[in-house]
């Protein structure tokens, strides 16, 4: 089957061809690592009547051995929830790869020049109303997701993904880097995805061409793209595909994007994909030059109807960043409660029922959720919506409340995101992200007059108040804890940068002088990376050498 791509995607054509039609390995065959067989799984024989059963993270990863065209008749079913990090699992090839999860269908050629190779997934995967959680990786690869590439004829259904964190250099998505198959009943929550090079980032798939995504959603998902990019709540790129009854929630943005960049609530760059009965309540932003839209950042060959996006301060004012679809295709909504009433569109077009189950009163902040999440295979409808009463006007505004709850629930995912950024060398963004999240939480201060002890030598410099909480410190931070750090760096007098900091004194503002003096201290003390960021590594080292009286 030959897949045609738009002419403007010439730069990515080589990459896509590599994904969709994997070349014969030069140094190692996938079969050198293992072969597709029933003993890889918990039960079953791979037929539609008796699919192979997946019970552990290793069995999940072992689907890799059953990818490729010769396995287009294979079927898989999840028989329980899987916590990948909880099992201590990274990937099948840890002897030669230490970058975390390897997308299903990918493997390493481990010859003289190791390289990253793919086989496409042709089979059918039934999540069976279970959740896969805590999966992370950072790798210089394309087609990055739980799966690498879903080929035409493949399917994934009834699956939840929670706590995922992927950083790649190409097409990145939660479920799959690239999909040409059919996806239904899938959600991605509390996750973070980023592409550090040009191409596409999506909440469910990085890109889709000729496939379908239906009755699925993303919630509390951070998407970040840079350079030439498409960022979308469901798909970063979509062409000749269909997206029906989907919604997105989270924060989607680009950094250092070119004019070709696009950010959209549902699709970043839409080239003829039909989008129906869908909505977005995401926070969206983009660098100057990129295009941003409530439903699509760019939308060519517009097709679809009944799509909506939530507009509040800072969000897009138009449905598409480069066109003006008719309001029957997409329209703005300035009241989020519209999406909490099944009599309103687009919910009126969904298979949705009301629930009064108090256990789900706050689920998805009152937005719809897939019925299987509560009822499993016994669900009587596709979607459920909690029957909330009138909103209390004295309550915190819905958008701000959502952001506050997102900040609290997403910290684990953000920590993994920061670690991934550092591992691929994007130190500036790692520092910025640390600063953004540290500033979300307040720290009370109290006065103290205890002396600072540096390498068992008492520094009689007047000591500033110390924070009772512990926070990491980086550029543009201000406070008493910054001042205390500056006093320590000056007292250490490691080199010329410390002398320069002493020249301006302990001001309480973390600027370039403080950063350079801290990096100067970190380097001879074996703190890696020595970048002038004050976090747990530096804090632990200072404690180990007898620096006392600080904020730990």
pLDDT digits (tens, 9 = 90+) for 299-346: 887 789 999 999 876 677 788 887 777 778 889 999 999 999 999 999
Q: 330 forms bridges with which residues in the sheet?
A: 307
Give the model's confidence band at 109: pLDDT under 50 very low, under 70 low, under 90 confident, else very high: low
User: What average pLDDT is seen over the chain?
Assistant: 78
Counting Cα atoms < 13 Å in the Cβ hemisphere of 34 gives 21
Task: Decide if pLDDT at 14 tops 70.
Answer: no
How, if at all, do strands 369-370 and 383-386 pair? antiparallel
Q: What is the CATH number of domain 7-386?
A: 2.160.20.110
Output DSSP code: residue 395: S
Give whichever of 114-118, 207-211, 318-322, 439-443 has the largest mean pLDDT: 207-211
Instruction: Convert the pLDDT of each residue in 140-192 to its tens digit.
Output: 777 789 999 999 999 999 999 999 999 887 789 999 999 999 999 999 999 99
Give the model's confidence band at 422: pLDDT under 50 very low, under 70 low, under 90 confident, else very high: low
b/e map 406-444, b = 16+ CB within 10 Å: beeebeebbbbbbebbbbbebeebbbbbbbebbeeeeee
Task: Decide if pLDDT at 471 tops 90.
Answer: no
Please state the rounded mean pLDDT for residues 408-436. 51
Question: According to the model, what pLDDT value does residue 250 have?
Answer: 92
Question: According to the model, what pLDDT value does residue 6 have?
Answer: 42
In this prediction the pTM is: 0.68
Task: Decide if pLDDT at 379 tops 50.
Answer: yes
Q: Distance between CA 412 and CA 164 in Å, rounded?
A: 10
The CA–CA distances, whole Å, from 430 to 100, 209, 320, 418, 426 equal 18, 32, 30, 5, 6
Closest CA to 216 of 264, 160, 260, 171: 160
Task: Decide if pLDDT at 370 tops 50.
Answer: yes
Question: According to the model, what pLDDT value does residue 419 have?
Answer: 53
The end-to-end CA distance of the chain, in Å, is 61
Give the model's confidence band at 515: pLDDT under 50 very low, under 70 low, under 90 confident, else very high: confident
The CA–CA distances, whole Å, from 421 to 170, 282, 414, 416, 425 equal 15, 23, 10, 9, 6
Query: Which residue in the block uniquely carries the two structure tokens 């293992």?
Result: 34
Question: According to the model, what pLDDT value does residue 135 have?
Answer: 94
The CA–CA distances, whole Å, from 174 to 134, 162, 351 equal 12, 9, 25
Q: What's the CATH fold of domain 445-544?
A: Muramoyl-pentapeptide Carboxypeptidase; domain 1 (1.10.101)
Q: Where are the domains of the chain?
A: 7-386, 445-544
Please state, as a whole number, how many other Cβ atoms lie within 10 Å of the Cβ of residue 523.
16
The CA–CA distances, whole Å, from 373 to 46, 82, 129 equal 26, 15, 7
């Amino acid at each position: 089957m030959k897949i045609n791509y738009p002419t403007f995607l010439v730069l990515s054509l080589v990459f896509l061809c590599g994904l969709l039609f994997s070349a014969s390995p030069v140094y190692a065959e996938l079969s050198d690592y293992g072969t597709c067989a029933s003993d890889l799984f918990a039960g079953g024989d791979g037929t539609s009547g008796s699919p192979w059963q997946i019970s552990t993270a290793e069995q999940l990863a072992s689907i890799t051995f059953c990818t490729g065209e010769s396995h287009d008749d294979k079927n898989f079913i999840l028989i329980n929830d899987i916590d990948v990090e909880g099992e201590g699992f990274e990937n099948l090839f840890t002897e030669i790869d230490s970058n975390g999860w390897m997308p299903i269908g990918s493997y390493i050629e481990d010859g003289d020049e190791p390289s990253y190779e793919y086989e496409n997934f042709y089979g059918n995967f039934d999540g069976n109303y279970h959740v896969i959680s805590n999966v992370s990786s950072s790798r210089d690869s394309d087609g990055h997701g739980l799966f690498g590439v879903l080929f035409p004829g493949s399917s994934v259904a009834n699956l939840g993904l929670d706590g995922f964190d992927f950083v790649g250099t190409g097409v990145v998505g939660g479920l799959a880097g690239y999909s040409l198959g059919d996806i239904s009943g899938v959600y991605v929550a509390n996750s973070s995805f980023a592409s550090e090079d040009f191409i596409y980032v999506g909440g469910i798939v990085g890109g889709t061409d000729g496939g379908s995504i239906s009755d699925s959603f993303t919630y509390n998902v951070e998407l970040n793209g840079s350079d030439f990019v498409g960022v979308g709540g469901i798909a970063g790129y979509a062409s000749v595909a269909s997206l029906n009854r989907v919604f997105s929630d989270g924060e989607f943005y680009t950094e250092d994007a070119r004019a070709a960049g696009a950010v959209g609530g549902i699709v970043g760059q839409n080239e003829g994909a039909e989008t129906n009965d869908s909505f977005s309540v995401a926070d969206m932003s983009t660098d100057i030059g990129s295009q941003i839209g409530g439903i699509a950042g760019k939308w060519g060959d517009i097709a679809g109807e009944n799509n909506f996006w939530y507009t509040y301060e800072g969000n897009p004012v138009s449905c598409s960043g480069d066109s003006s679809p008719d309001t029957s295709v997409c329209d703005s909504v300035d009241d989020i409660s519209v999406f909490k009433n099944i009599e309103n569109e687009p919910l009126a077009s969904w298979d949705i029922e009301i629930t009064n189950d108090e256990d789900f009163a706050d689920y998805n902040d009152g937005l719809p959720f897939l019925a299987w999440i509560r009822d499993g295979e016994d669900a009587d409808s596709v979607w459920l919506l909690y029957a909330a009463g009138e909103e209390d006007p004295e309550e915190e505004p819905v958008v701000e409340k959502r952001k506050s709850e997102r900040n609290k629930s997403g910290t684990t995912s953000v920590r993994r995101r920061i670690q991934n950024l550092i591992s691929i060398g994007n130190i500036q963004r790692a520092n910025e992200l640390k600063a953004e999240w540290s500033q979300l939480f307040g720290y009370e201060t109290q006065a103290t007059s205890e002396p600072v002890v540096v390498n068992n030598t008492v520094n009689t410099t007047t000591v500033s108040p110390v924070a009772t909480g512990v926070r990491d410190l980086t550029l543009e931070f201000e406070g008493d804890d910054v001042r205390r750090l500056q006093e320590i760096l000056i007292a250490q007098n490691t080199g010329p940068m410390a002398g320069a900091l002493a020249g301006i004194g302990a001001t309480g503002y973390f600027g370039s002088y403080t950063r350079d003096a801290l990096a100067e201290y970190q380097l001879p003390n074996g703190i890696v990376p020595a970048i002038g960021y004050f976090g747990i590594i530096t804090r632990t080292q200072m404690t180990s050498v007898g620096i006392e009286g600080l904020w730990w």
